Amino acid sequence: MIGTKGTVVAVNGNMVSVRFDGAVSMNEVGFVKLGDKKLKSEVIRIRGDISQLQVFEVTKGISVGDSVEYSGDMLAVEVGPGLLGQVYDGLQNPLPKLAAVAGNFLERGVYLDPLSVDISWAFTPVAKVGDTVERADTLGTVPEGAFTHRIMVPFNLYGTYTIASIKGAGSYTIRDTIAELKDEKGNTIPVTMSFRWPVKRPIDCFVERYKPTEPMVTRVRLIDTFFPVARGGTYCIPGPFGAGKTVLQQITSRYADIDIVILAACGERAGEVVETLKEFPELTDPKTGKSLMERTIIICNTSSMPVASREASVYTAVTLAEYYRQMGLNVLLLADSTSRWAQAMREMSGRLEEIPGEEAFPAYLESTIASFYERAGTVRLRDGSIGSVTIGGTVSPAGGNFEEPVTQATLKVVGAFHGLSRERSDARKFPAIHPLDSWSKYKGIIAAEKVGYAHGFMRRGSEVEQMMKVVGEEGTSIEDYVIYLKGDLIDSVYFQQNSFDAVDAAVSPDRQKHIFAILLHILASQFTFPDKNEARSWFNRLRQKFLDFNGSEWQSERFVSLQKEIESTVSAQSTGLDKAAEKVLA
């Protein structure tokens, strides 16, 4: 339905200024008419009878005097069965269908239905005629892949309603009316399987929000043990280009203990996005044995696409994540990379002639980033079920400078920081998370005091390494050198994982605890060596045994045999345990 109309009075890049006559709201969708095409846009500022709109398409050809039609609706997404396995752009256009219609070079002004109107879904009613319901209450269910998709009362229906009629079990499309509700005034409201929700408005149909406490197991040792992520929490992965952000995200999305994965490629380079689109359908989901895409949604906006769509892709992704959280599911949202989104905000802020903040980013950069991460959380729904949205965002600071505004603004709101290091990446250490710069506020799978004791060897070993760069190995005492070797051991056999090894690529929590206990005993053991060469040789042999141990099947004969070899090797060399470690080992 078309509401207010206007006329273009100025064009500045992807921003157009429009004089309108009537009522216009912030974040309202407008369409700029260009010949026989209508280019979608969003109102981002209103001054008197002039509104500024950011256009989600290339604005070439738009000129003063062109007409604009305001829709009267906010920028929104359509939610319902059929979202899983889809690849969308930031405006929720299904890209495979868009390519089939427009070809490999996408045309402007082509907008398709995000959900198929032809697929029939096997609907099973849960509610019955006469029941009293509120928004987000379940009317029925349909199977969607491995999940039970709840057909809910639309979130924009506030108040109490009575079910006047509801369809019986059968096959229906998302456009079929499956129930009729009556409000308190007696008005009848038809309900279908799908509805729309504004992307800038958080979905708040829950009873209570909980503090994130339960670890989200990723099966990456360095993360789960030392820098854990909580289910329903937030974390960021800043790092220079090529340090392994995308690879780490793919490993996490495959093995993390969650139900739904949503990837938001908000401005990443086209090559990396293409790699993701090619690999994900071919990846086997370890949970189901089927394609990982069956529980994944990809929101794709590359750096070569209009910058305004980067912001739309972020909000589209988090809205879809919140929708599945309303079904009591655990959702992981990975945004790659929020730096591109921030650059889009900076570009638009400059065109609005706003007073710039640090490095020309808008002054509201921190509050905008915070409002995005605040949409994560673990919530209790009205039926008592628990759902969560965990948000992990990558940041691509120029030159790996973590002091730049986007990284600093992100660090103020997230609960865990996985800083990637160019040095570790160049040394082929995966994951390239720096063990001294990174941190986490969450509880992990292993007691904090034990983790702190082990992490101390990494820190002290790094100090000894820096000292050796100045005075040389010969100027270092044998005691300090052993501390350095212990730190190097934990780095080599626990921090690093072989993502190409079928066993070591993903490590279960039980195995992590088991290996960590063995390693902790080694760190607490005291060793006496005649010289540094003997110490280095002994630790190298032990490290190789541990690497073989990491590649052996859990609790297999080889696993047990290698563990005995490691324990006998340590026992033969050890002169006792460090007294300070006895309490930690207890």
Which residues does the annotation place in the binding site for ATP?
239-246
Extended strands (E) in 153-231: 161-166, 170-172, 179-182, 188-191, 195-198, 208-210
Nearest CA among 324, 335, 254, 260 for reference residue 301: 335
Structure-token match 């216009």, residue found: 24
Beta-carbon contacts of residue 563 (< 8 Å; ≥ 6 apart): 518, 549
- Count of C-beta atoms within a 10 Å radius of residue 209: 12
3-state secondary structure of 232: coil
Calculate helix-pair angle for 365-373, 308-325, nearest 10 degrees: 30
On the CB side of 98, CA atoms within 13 Å amount to 21
3-state secondary structure of 309: helix
On the CB side of 143, CA atoms within 13 Å amount to 6
Give the CA angle between residues 164, 166, 169 to the nearest 5°. Answer: 165
Q: Could you tell me the CA-to-CA distances from 327 to 126, 151, 375, 386 in Å, in that order?
A: 14, 9, 16, 8
What's the CA gap between 334 and 10, in Å, rounded?
37
H or E element: which one contains 521? helix 509-524
Cα Rg, the chain, nearest whole Å: 27
8 Å CB contact between 335 and 262: no
8 Å CB contact between 236 and 392: yes
CB-count exposure of residue 1 (10 Å: 0-12, 13-18, 19+): exposed
Burial profile 8-33: b = 16 or more Cβ within 10 angstroms, e = fewer: beebeebbbbbebeeebeebbbbbbb
Beta-carbon contacts of residue 473 (< 8 Å; ≥ 6 apart): 481, 532
- In single-letter form, the type of residue at position 307 comes to V
Binding residues: 239-246
